[in-house]
Amino acid sequence: MSPVLLEARNIGKRFGGVQALKDVSLTIKSGEIYGLIGPNGAGKTTLFNVFTGLYPRDSGEVIFCGTTLTLDSPHAVAAAGIARTFQNIRLFGNMTALENVMVGRHPRSYAGVFSAILRTRAERAEEAGIRRRADELLHYVGIADRAGDLARHLSYGDQRRLEIARALATDPKLLALDEPAAGMNATETAALRRLIEGLRSDGLTVLLIEHDVKLVLGLCDRVAVLDYGEKIAEDAPEAVRANPKVIEAYLGASTA
C-alpha cells in the first residue's frame, strides 16, 4: 500500500445560495493517477480550485504530505508542491515557450532584485540552471522545437503540453490537470495519454479532471465521482463504471 499524499477532509464550499461542494473527502495516494469525474456543474473544478488555493474553502481541511495546507494563497500551494493546469488554457501569451517554463521555476529559485542587478555569480548560476531545466522539460513534453516561439502562436495541443511543462517546472509532488483533453482530437488525446502515463512511471502523482470518460477509466488507478457537490463514488475504474449511483448521475434515474 503506497502512502497517502493528499487527504481532503469534509471540504465545503458555497457560492451564494449554491452549495458547490458538500463534505467532500478523498485521499490521493503517492504515485497513482487519481481521476475526478462527474456531470457538468458537479463541482470538479471548484474542488480543484480549493485544492490549489484559488478559492478559499468554507469548511474542511487538506492534509498534504502529512501537514495541513494553508489554502489561502495559490503561490504557497505551488511552493508546497501542488502544480496545476487550467481548463481554459492560461499561458503567458506574449512570452516564449521557454520563458513560460522558466516562470514555473520561480518558487524553486531565490535571486532577488539586487543579485539580478549586480548579476552575481550565484544569480548567473541559478539562471543557467533555470534555463537548463526549462529546456529539459520542453524536451520531456515534446515541444523543444518550439522553445523560441511565443506561447500564443503554439497549436492547441502544444499549448496544453506547454502548460504541463510549466506546471512540472515547479517540481510538484502532485500534478493537477483540469480537463487536459478538452478540445483535443483523437491523435492528440492519445499522445496526451502517453505523456500522462510517462509522468506516472516517473513517479509523479497525478490528479486528473476529465470529461472524456474513456480516457479517465483507461488511465486512472482510482476514480472519484462528484455529483451536485457530493462524492457519490470512489473506487477502481471498473467498479465505478458498474456503480448504479454513477450510472444514475450520468444517465438519470431509470424510473424517470
Partner 1 sequence: MKTNRERFGLALIAIALIALPFVLASVGTAWVRITNFAVLFTLLSLGLNIVVGFAGLLDLGYVAFFAVGAYVYALLASPHFGLHLPFWVILPIGATVACIAGVVLGAPTLRLRGDYLAIVTLGFGEIVRIFMNNLSSPVNLTNGPKGINRIDPFQIGPLNFSASDSFGGLVFSGPIKYYYFLLLVLLAVIIINRRLQDSRIGRAWVAIREDEIAARASGINTRNIKLLAFAMGASFGGIAGGMFAAIQGFVSPESFILNESIMILAMVVLGGMGNIWGVVAGAVLLSFVPELLRYTVEPAQKALFGKLLVDPEVLRMLIFGLALVLTMRFRPAGLWPEMRHRRELDQDRA
Stretch that binds partner 1, among 116-124, 182-190, 207-215, 224-232 (CB under 8 A): 116-124
**How many helices (H) and strands (E) in the chain?**
10, 10
Q: Quick one: cell of 241?
A: 463504471
Stretch that binds partner 1, among 57-65, 94-102, 136-144, 243-251 (CB under 8 A): 94-102
For residues 145-169, b (16+ Cβ closer than 10 Å) or e, as one string?
ebbeebbeebeebbbbbbbbbbbbb
**Which among 48, 31, 77 has a CA at the least distance from the CA of 220?**
31
The residue within the footprint of partner 1, chosen from 33, 91, 174, 249 (CB under 8 A), is 91
Q: Which is nearer to partner 1, 44 or 105 (CB)?
A: 105
Q: Quick one: cell of 72?
A: 489561502
The residue within the footprint of partner 1, chosen from 117, 186, 253, 256 (CB under 8 A), is 117
Q: Which is nearer to partner 1, 28 or 101 (CB)?
A: 101
* 34, 176 Cβ separation under 8 angstroms: no
Q: What is the Cβ-side half-sphere exposure of residue 41, based on CA atoms within 13 angstroms? A: 6
The residue within the footprint of partner 1, chosen from 44, 57, 84, 146 (CB under 8 A), is 84
**Strands of 33-37's sheet, edge to edge?**
82-84, 174-178, 205-209, 33-37, 222-227, 230-235
The residue within the footprint of partner 1, chosen from 4, 9, 12, 54 (CB under 8 A), is 54
Q: How many residues bind partner 1 (CB under 8 A)?
A: 45
The residue within the footprint of partner 1, chosen from 18, 25, 70, 116 (CB under 8 A), is 116
Based on the shown chain and the rule CB under 8 A, indicate whether residue 78 belongs to the binding site for partner 1: yes
Q: Which residues contact 208 (CB under 8 A, 6 or more apart)?
A: 33, 34, 35, 36, 177, 180, 196, 216, 219, 220
Largest CA distance in the chain: 73
In the bound complex, what is the minimum distance in angstroms from residue 139's beta carbon to partner 1? 14
Q: Strand locations in 52-111, DSSP E?
A: 59-64, 67-68, 82-84
Q: Which residues contact 199 (CB under 8 A, 6 or more apart)?
A: 175, 206
Based on the shown chain and the rule CB under 8 A, indicate whether residue 113 belongs to the binding site for partner 1: yes
Based on the shown chain and the rule CB under 8 A, indicate whether residue 144 belongs to the binding site for partner 1: no
Based on the shown chain and the rule CB under 8 A, indicate whether residue 79 belongs to the binding site for partner 1: yes
Q: Which is nearer to partner 1, 146 or 231 (CB)?
A: 146
Based on the shown chain and the rule CB under 8 A, indicate whether residue 253 belongs to the binding site for partner 1: no
Site residues (CB under 8 A) for partner 1, limited to 160-219: 166-167, 169-170
Residues forming the site for partner 1 (CB under 8 A)? 52, 54, 73-75, 78-79, 83-84, 86, 90-96, 98-99, 102-109, 111-113, 116-117, 119, 123, 126-127, 130, 147-150, 166-167, 169-170
